[in-house]
Structure 1
Amino acid sequence: MKLLYAEDERPLSEAVVDILTYHKYIVDAVYDGEDAYDYALTGGYDGIILDIMMPRRDGIDVVSALRKNGCKTPILLLTAKTQIEDRIRGLDMGADDYLPKPFDMGELLARIRSMLRRREVFHPDLLSFGDLTLNIQSGSLSCGDMEFILPKQEYRLMEQLMANHKIFLSSEDLLVKAWGYNAKADINSVWLYISYLRKRLAAMNSGVEIVSKRNIGYRLEIPI
């Protein structure tokens, strides 16, 4: 299961991410509401955990905007605010559940499990584009009769390219989405792994190409 966790207190974020990762969740961590909104729309998450008090955009505004844009991913709100009015407002804006801080990690895990059981949207285990199929569970990329288990970083990069094949993703976007905010990688890593994936597609005789547009970014295309 893939989760988005938005929390501006970095020590708390790191601690929660460590525990969620230990419990076999894939977690993307962001630290402000604007990034939470952008990631939620493009990341293909099974669940979203939002702190309400965040810089740039508060969690309730993020929930409202996501629901207006058709996002049905389950959302759990976390906040230091415990007044009943805040709970009602968050739920009325479209949140699925509400947990006040400070919270017990056991309760957070239980609420996440409950939230994911109730999710209404089916997220497929396969992403497809052209003659390529990426298996989310196994991390394998297949084309015709050929199939490769992608190394972790190639997989995360290809996942972003396939999930967002209608738009160009800049090197900076790919660095954050595929490596994460706290990664020690830089733009050179994106270029290097794009090269690896291009060689991989060529070896599979795929009709799909990773095209680049100067000063804009990368996306998958099927040449005419």
Structure 2
Amino acid sequence: KSAVAHLVPYIEEEKRQLELAGGDVKPKGKIVMATVKGDVHDIGKNIVTVVLQCNNYEVVNMGVMVPAQDILKKAKDEGADIIGLSGLITPSLEEMQHVAAEMQRDDYFASRHMPLLIGGATTSRVHTAVKIAPHYEGPVVYVPDASRAVGVCSELLSDERAAAYIAELKADIEKTRALHASKKQTPLVTLAAARANAAPLDLSRVPPAPKFTGRRVLKNLDLAELA
């Protein structure tokens, strides 16, 4: 948090200097970021926020423990282009599914197909494709680390590249789901077969007794003999 707080003034000053010089300071897009309800981890989210701000994206960082309805309301109020969700603990995964489902229920998001970014230590490409994406018809993108966020947002908000990127994304999601489903179809071994394949154990066999127990100290050993 201290590192983020240290960087933000420099980012703002750079924008101010650019504006004074007559440059274009219009942000490339607006992103609402939040750590979902039930999760207090925000270091990764704050890093993503700074990375995006350094690349001229406006980021509304809502902090931690943010309920789904608050996230959606803030996105509407701010006129956001993208929503980003972060989480570190396992329960956050279910909350992300809930946010995606709420976006689908709300015509504001469903009609706009507003992109939903997913990130955090417990998230994964497979979980996003199998568990989160089915709840929302808009683009649901797994972002593995902060360095990828700028590229993803650039593609999603590009008039020329967005359609192709989203089509490729959906194809990858379908492929991931199919691969995941095929793995789940592995037939389980029957109880009878498992018992038939059990390791043979002779419980009546008495193992040989050791010649001695405890510690034996050997002194005056010839090193040449040990070598």
TM range (shorter): 0.3 to 0.5
State TM-score, norm by structure 1.
0.45
State TM-score, norm by structure 2.
0.44
| Bigger relative contact order, structure 1 or 2 (CA pairs below 8 A, ≥6 apart) | 2
Please identify the structure whose Cα radius of gyration is greater: 2
> Which has the larger share of strand?
1
